[in-house]
Structure 1
Amino acid sequence: MNRLPIIREFMELVEIDVASKNERVIADVVTKKLKDIGCLVYEDNTGEKIGGNTGNLFAILEGTREGALLFSAHLDRVANGIGIKPKIVGSKIVSNGTILSADDVSGIAAILDGLRKVVNSKKSHPRIEILLTVCEEKGVSGSKYVDYSQIKSKIAFVLDSPGRIGRVINAAPSKASLNFEVVGKSAHAGNFPEKGVNSLVTAAKVLSRIKDGRIDEITTANWASIESLSPTNVVNS
């Protein structure tokens, strides 16, 4: 079957076993591809900082025109990304029951394909920068340690969203986490409950006064978990 190069490369890359903090193999494969295209490639030490085996990749295809443009994707994938065997069914690429890992191998494949088209066109172009981050699926951990002072681009395209070809997202959610601890006073729940101050009840009262769900047009809040370690015969402290 005659397949477009971008399709062949996508299917090649999704078959590489990858997990957050274990992007070594795909990083090595993509690094070689970038160098073969003509890019200078650097890997930072983010892996050491997050307990992984791979750093973020930063590649540069120097240009002959003024300006710079950045394209970005991430190397890792969500869980169940091991043993992927993609196949083409009709007009779709499907997996063998695992995830397909289009998130975000499709972004990587598109960047590689675009770079080759730029080089093969022989036309002048600005400096093109490529940032491929690690551990995106676990709190966007890799991008936290990018040395952004190395990036000259003022405009970036992040290839990491679903939808039709040409769809552009110009804003995306950010996340903030809040943890708080409530300390009460322990007492025997059967004999002297009046001597205690129940931290769990107090925490529930605090949460009941904080708005959650839809806060405004662009803001939501959700309290995800509450934990108490006291035994049932003791007022929570």
Structure 2
Amino acid sequence: MKDFEREKLLEIFEDLLMIHSPSCKEEKVADYIINFVKELGGEVYLDESQDKYGGNAPTIFAKFLGEGEGITFSAHMDVIEPNKDLKIIKEDKIWKTDGNTTLGGDDKGGLAAILYSIYYILKNNYKHRDIYAIFTPGEEVGMLGARNINWEEVYKNMKPAKNMIVVDNAGSCDKVAYKAPTSYTFTFKIRGKSAHAGIEPEKGISAIMLAAKAISQFKILRIDEFTTANISNINSDFPTNVVPDYVEFSGEIRGHDKDHVLEILEEYQQIVRNLTEDFEFEKTLDYPALVPSDMEFSKEIIRSYKNIGVDAKEVIIGGGSDANFFADEGFNSLIVGVGMEKVHTKEEYLVLEDLENTSRAIIDYLKLD
């Protein structure tokens, strides 16, 4: 690719890495991105919804007017702690940390790929598509930025293209994720009847026993190819000589078919109902499903990867991201990677060739010449 500046890409990446931006405290990296976009002549709109969840940075919308069908890119600004006082160990093929912090390649690598690609297109005066970008805070703690966007106000100021690439996939750059599950957190609160466990236990009803009988009948862990569930917390705190009359347990269920997920949650309730009527059930949507609306877009992105020598393939993933909320808003969202490995750990590293290749693929897709 003519005049591709690998050192400029890595300079942007390093600039971003060295700005400490834990979840809900992304103000400084947001300032960097806003200045970067404005210096390139881009239009900026700020969604100031951070007060809803105690953050200090807006969701940034950027626009660079071009020609033809547009595209929207997205990446998140926050990183997993511990990340303060990062020391980057630069090797020929990877960047990693000294083992005391996370790297923050998740998702500073995604930010760098987007920003450099726009920089490259504009610097070289290429004819290009309309380019939009959305940079979100709070992704790592529940997709808070994407979840709380005031879309009504956004659309009064900017209308991002519905075809979207979220640059936030773990692993190598040869995977284009087009489908991801919805997730619900659920909680059961079961009441029994208290009694002295040593003198007259038969007069009691153990809430713990009711819960155990119920859970033993639940479909959990791998339910089918595209559905999983897990019980992660059980709480009941009583003296050993008291039949426990209360227990609470909670978990999550993920699946690519929302209706199937809700059916399983109803099955759970019926199982408990068959044992006792004295219970409460709560469910909370963690994130909606990522479902493709136009697979032709995915094929176009894969062609761009192949144009730069990467044999990319469509994949289905099992986790949630901002892409799920964007899909729920009507965006045709795909997720691509930049070589993030061992994310969310102090052993995190980023494969530089993957970062470069995704940047090249983005540029290939943007160019109209």
Q: What TM-score does the superposition give when structure 2 sets the normalisation length?
A: 0.60
What amino acid is the match of 1:25?
K
Cα displacement (A) at 1:229: 2.6
Partners in 2 of 1:160 and 1:230 — Cα distance? 45
Listed one character per residue, the Cα deviations across residues 183-225 of structure 1 (whole Å, up to 9, x for unaligned) are 1122222233222211111111111111111111111111111
Cα pair distance change 1:90/1:121, threshold 3 Å: closer
Q: In the alignment, what sits opposite 2:205? A: 197
Q: In the alignment, what sits opposite 1:37? A: 40
Which fold has the larger relative contact order, with Cα–Cα distance below 8 Å and residues 6 or more apart in sequence? 2
Q: In the alignment, what sits opposite 2:88? A: 86
For structure 2, the residue ranges without an aligned partner over 5 or more in a row are: 246-369
Residue 214 of structure 1 pairs with residue 222 of structure 2: yes
Structure 1 moving runs of 4+ over 4 Å = none
Q: Considering only aligned residues, what root-mean-square deviation do their CA atoms show, in Å?
A: 1.8
Partners in 1 of 2:75 and 2:211 — Cα distance? 40
SS at structure 1 position matched to 2:20? coil
Q: What TM-score does the superposition give when structure 1 sets the normalisation length?
A: 0.91
What amino acid is the match of 1:72?
S
Cα pair distance change 1:211/1:165, threshold 3 Å: closer
Q: In the alignment, what sits opposite 1:230? A: 238
Judge conservation of contact 2:76–2:107 (CA < 8 Å) in 1.
yes
Partners in 1 of 2:68 and 2:80 — Cα distance? 38
Partners in 1 of 2:64 and 2:172 — Cα distance? 28
Q: Which has the higher helix share?
A: 2
Q: In the alignment, what sits opposite 1:71? A: 73
Once the two structures are overlaid, the 10-residue window that deviates more, 19-28 or 90-99, is: 90-99
Partners in 2 of 1:177 and 1:102 — Cα distance? 28
Partners in 1 of 2:42 and 2:242 — Cα distance? 64
Partners in 1 of 2:181 and 2:104 — Cα distance? 22
In the TM superposition, what are the counterparts of 1:61-210 in structure 2 within 5 Å?
Answer: 61-63=64-66, 65-97=67-99, 98-148=101-151, 150=155, 151-210=159-218
> Which of 7, 10, 32 is the equivalent residue of 1:4?
7
For structure 1, the residue ranges without an aligned partner over 5 or more in a row are: none
Once the two structures are overlaid, the 10-residue window that deviates more, 84-93 or 206-215, is: 84-93
Cα displacement (A) at 1:87: 3.0
Partners in 2 of 1:209 and 1:181 — Cα distance? 17
Once the two structures are overlaid, the 10-residue window that deviates more, 214-223 or 79-88, is: 79-88
Percent same amino acid among aligned pairs?
A: 35
Q: Which has the higher strand share?
A: 2
- The aligned length equals 235
Partners in 2 of 1:192 and 1:165 — Cα distance? 64
Partners in 1 of 2:174 and 2:150 — Cα distance? 29
